[in-house]
Structure 1
Amino acid sequence: MRRVADFFDEHLNAVRPTAPRPRARWHVGHVGWQSSQEYPPPSRPLTFHLAAQGTGVHALNRLPDEATTSLAWTHDPEHPVPSSTGIEAIWYLLADYPDERGLADRPDVLTFRTEPLSEHLDFAGQPVLSAQVSFSAPSTHVFAKLQDVYPDGTTRPVSWGRAVLSERGGDTLTLTLDDNGYRLRKGHRLQLQIQSSDFPHSAVHPGTDGNPWFTTEAVRSTQSLVVGGAAGARLVLPAVTVAEVRDEGAW
């Protein structure tokens, strides 16, 4: 509350602060409050390439595979991927912090995961997923989620993104995930999941060109994306360097 009071003192009561106030303040999960003269703060792009790895969980690698591979996932409107929290709980996520490890076992979810990190990885801003996506329906929904996989397998959500692809718009996907500041700690794994439903948080795509809010027709569809090679799917994180601080007087 002290900083809030100081802010109003400066702007309403013309009380000059004893030290220059930073233009931006932001929070990094597992670290604390940070400050900078701009937000997002200066960052460097850190690229992870999606890579095929047999069946089940695939890989997130710093270098792309030489060979290209097409990886597919299904979408069944009658059995959509369930949201991991209720409609209300999404507004107080940490009070009902979901463990999403079971989603990796579903055939309608593509999962990509790094090896355990050898050092902390900090990012702040908006991660971006780029991919060429094919789909059998006239259009499709694409949901992407970043997750933090703990050494014991606990899987926590970090950042979300969503997009609609259509025949008219083509198959090029540039999906900007939600703004976030987070530390993936040493020994943890970064995970990316891609799917075509997130119910009940989002309306279910019917697999046809019908309006998802009104149509009663539902058709299974297949989506796929290309990994490997020069045009393979990739995830770019805005990596930053943060200070090890905890500012308990932030609010």
Structure 2
Amino acid sequence: MFSYPNQYMKILSSFLLVLFALSAFAQQGAPDPAFVKNNYTKYEYQIPMRDGKKLFTSVYVPKDQSKKYPFMMDRTCYSVAPYGAEAYKGSLGPSPQFMQDGYIFVYQDVRGRFMSEGIYEEMTPELEVHKTNKDIDEGTDTYDTIDWLLKNVANNNGKVGVWGISYPGFYTTTALLSRHPALVAASPQAPIADLWRDDGWHNGAFFLVANFGFYPGFTNRQDDKPTQRRGKGFNPGTEDGYDFFLKMGSMKNTNDKYYKDTIRLWNEMMDHPDYDQHWKDRNVLTHLHDIKTATLVTGGWYDAEDLYGAINTYKTLAAKNPNTPVYFAMGPWVHGGWARGAGDHLGDVDFGGPTGPFYREKIEFAFFSHYLKGTPLDIPKVSTFQTGANQWKTYNAWPPAPAKEKNLYFLPGGKLSFTAPAAGKDSYTEFVSDPNKPVPYYAKKTMDMERDYMTADQRFAAKMPDVLSYQTDVLTDDVTLAGNIWANLKVATTGTDADWVVKVIDVYPDTAANNKFTTKDVQMAGYQQMVRSESMRGKYRTGFDKPTAFTPGQVSPVNFELQDVLHTFKKGHRMMVQIQSTWFPLIDRNTQQFQDIMKAKDGDFKKATHRVYTSKLHSSYLKVRVM
């Protein structure tokens, strides 16, 4: 990592922690630099692109030249360090099995990053047509790189595989768009697919804590001058993110107080809060057609950064390329958590045993070995870990065909049921939302986007007057949800804008015992485990590119996707849904007035009273898929 102040490290979300150390993170097991040096020779190249720019590329070639090897390539915006022909990485490939089995490993700084030439553009827009050598994108850069490697690196077998996690996952997806015939296998892992939807805004609500600390450290250069220099980062001077961001005030203060308009990529975020053409151009999903490369899409159910990217990259590839082998693996992991470690728990929640080693050996290694070296392959199209029941499940497609849609209704008195509300009075529950006293997203003080917030106990929130809770009776049978969840709310507000946060929760029985991962200040009896959660900025309820004000007091539908799950609510548990309007500082605060919140002033934040309707006339419910 880097020699930044401890407080700076605290502000980094798990997103930044993972990504800046991606080369190490994506390699399970302790580094073995002696093995690498003894068995591989490192070369460094400046590979020319069709427009004349050169991309810095490190290539590790097996010293045993008695046979030919396929390429395994990782294109990254997080540096291919260490630099210098005599400076070696401690490990190579997605896991040690690859390094020990023998591949030609390729690491490339993408255009405009670190030692590569060019100007960096975040989520480079892909072009459908390339008429001239000036029509470049990540697809053409990948094509030119592969072509050069095939012609200039000896003893290759003519086959290329690409993998990467998060941003490198995006570059893996765009590698598919090179459509180079030698690219026979690719694994986008936690890929960013749509920056507005993955990491920036979740249905229009800005993910503040994840992004604020990221961009200063990410921004090491904004010119065409290659450098090994890292970004300087930002020191908040505190570990209390709730207090820090509340005192910071409105979003425009990020520049007025701290960044001073010096970070181009941050300003792009602030200047485009709507899903406008800037973001639409960066949605790589629209280009995923006519793909011939076998693809393994990997993600984690508890990936706080790019859950959307993994799920929707798979769904899009499978739908648009029915004749191409497309595989999908989802486990109980945080962002990149499958790449190393046991994957046996998250926070207080026990998954019943290791899950990471199974994926690395039986799925990832088997996939690449088959397509690059011709070994046998026996993996299902879909391998998913069923949380709650703690078991792997395999399917031919996702979501699984047996899962049937049902509505889970919010009823008067805080009830939750698959039975619709009866006719009668137009009932509702209301609460006062004060953006100057927002509901915290996490029970403890932190400057980070804590990776376990996605499974964390929600009892602290259930006690708050501006959090509504609805729960079922004790379940008499297991209930398994498999597939996406849609919130269908009927709401009203005294303001002209409002955020809506919906959390699906597994309530443990009072008899639940602690497990070996339970922290000392927690009891699993009565634990309220978050299973899935999502936010929605209400003004985008009719379209992400067309914000619309609420009419005060008028009942309005607010519908949004909470994304997919595969979770079993066990017999004896309860299902719960919590609804709130602030989730701080995970998302920024809504002024609760119809305006550009990125340009709001400190005095613009107003209290409002929100209603959630629970009647037959105006029913609020979740649309779920039940096995």
Compute the TM-score of the two structures, normalised by the length of structure 2: 0.35
Aligned to 2:281: none
Residue aligning to 2:573: 188
Cα distance in 1 for residues equivalent to 2:452 and 2:580? 23
Q: 2:585 aligns with which of 181, 200, 224?
A: 200
The Cα shift of 1:102 comes to 2.6
Q: Which residue of 1 aligns with 2:482?
A: 124
Question: What is the deviation of 1:5?
Answer: 2.0
Contact in 2 for aligned 1:205/1:212 (Cα 8 Å): yes
Q: Does 1:111 align with 2:498?
A: no
Q: Which residue of 2 aligns with 1:154?
A: 527
Corresponding residue for residue 623 of structure 2? 236
How much has 1:163 moved relative to structure 2?
0.9
Question: How far apart, in 2, do the equivalents of 1:28 and 1:165 lie?
Answer: 32
Partner of residue 60, structure 1: 416
Is 1:88 equivalent to 2:448 in the alignment?
yes
Counterpart Cα distance in 1 of 2:453 and 2:434: 27
Give the secondary structure class of the aligned counterpart of 2:371. Answer: helix
SS for the counterpart of 1:183 is: strand
Are the structure 2 counterparts of residues 169 and 76 from structure 1 closer, same or farther at C-alpha, using a change threshold of 3 Å?
closer
Paired letter, 2:608: S
- Per-residue CA deviations over 1:46-85 (Å, capped at 9, x if unaligned) read 32211111xxxx0002222322302212210111011126
Identical aligned pairs, as a percentage? 21
Match of 1:44 among 397, 404, 410: 404
Alignment match, 2:367: 7
Could you say which residue in structure 2 is the equivalent of 1:70? Answer: 428
AA aligned to 2:490 is Q
Segment drifting more, 23-32 vs 210-219? 210-219
Conserved 8 A contact 2:506-2:574: yes
Shift, 1:93, TM fit: 4.7
The answer for unaligned runs of 5 or more in structure 1 is: 241-251
| CA shift in 2, pair 1:209/1:215, >3 Å | farther
Report the counterpart of residue 215 of structure 1 in structure 2.
601
1:187 alignment partner, SS class: coil
Corresponding position of 1:248: none
For residue 2 of structure 1, give the secondary structure of its aligned residue in structure 2: helix
Q: How far apart are residue 98 of structure 1 and its match? A: 2.5
In structure 2, distance between residues paired with 1:102 and 1:15: 51
Structure 2 counterpart of 1:243 = none
Report the Cα distance in structure 1 between the residues aligned to 2:614 and 2:507, rounded to whole angstroms.
22
- Larger % of strand: which? 1
Q: How many residues align?
A: 232
Give the secondary structure class of the aligned counterpart of 1:161: strand
C-alpha distance in structure 2 between counterparts of 1:49 and 1:33, whole Å: 29
Shift of 1:169: 6.1
**1:9-59 CA distances to partner (integer Å, 9 max, x unpaired)?**
211112232x4x311111111331111111121211132211111xxxx00
Q: Displacement, 1:117?
A: 0.4
Q: Give, in whole Å, the separation in 1 of the partners of 2:563 and 2:617.
A: 26
Task: Report the equivalent of 1:140.
Answer: 498
Amino acid at match of 2:366: D
1:116: how far off?
0.6
Distance in structure 1 (CA, Å) of the matches to 2:415 and 2:611: 16
Give the TM-score, by structure 1 length: 0.85
Structure 1 contact 51–65 (Cα < 8 Å) conserved: no
Asked whether the 8 Å contact 2:471–2:577 carries over to 1, the reply is yes
* Of 548, 563, 586, the match for 1:168: 548
Q: CA deviation at 1:200?
A: 0.8
Residues of 2 paired with 1:164 and 1:212: CA distance? 11
Shift of 1:104: 1.8
CA distance in 2, matches of 1:197, 1:147: 17
Deviation, structure 1 residue 195: 0.7
Contact 1:87–1:201 under 8 Å retained in 2: no
Question: In the TM superposition, what whole-angstrom CA distance separates every residue of 1:150-195 from its partner, at most 9, and x where no partner exists?
Answer: 1122111110121121382662111211322111111111000111
What is the CA-CA distance between 1:126 and the residue it aligns to?
1.4
The range that moved more, 144-153 or 79-88, is 79-88
Look up the SS of the partner of 2:436 in the other structure. coil
**Greater relative contact order (Cα 8 A, min sep 6): structure 1 or 2?**
1
* Structure with a larger share of its residues in helix: 2
Contact 1:206 1:215 in 2 (8 A): no
Confirm or deny: 8 A CA contact 2:449 2:586 kept in the other structure. Answer: no
Q: Residues of 2 paired with 1:223 and 1:115: CA distance?
A: 26
| Unmatched 5+ stretches in structure 2 | 1-359, 511-525, 540-546, 551-555
Q: Give the Cα–Cα distance (whole angstroms) in 1 for the partners of residues 496 and 549 of structure 2.
A: 11
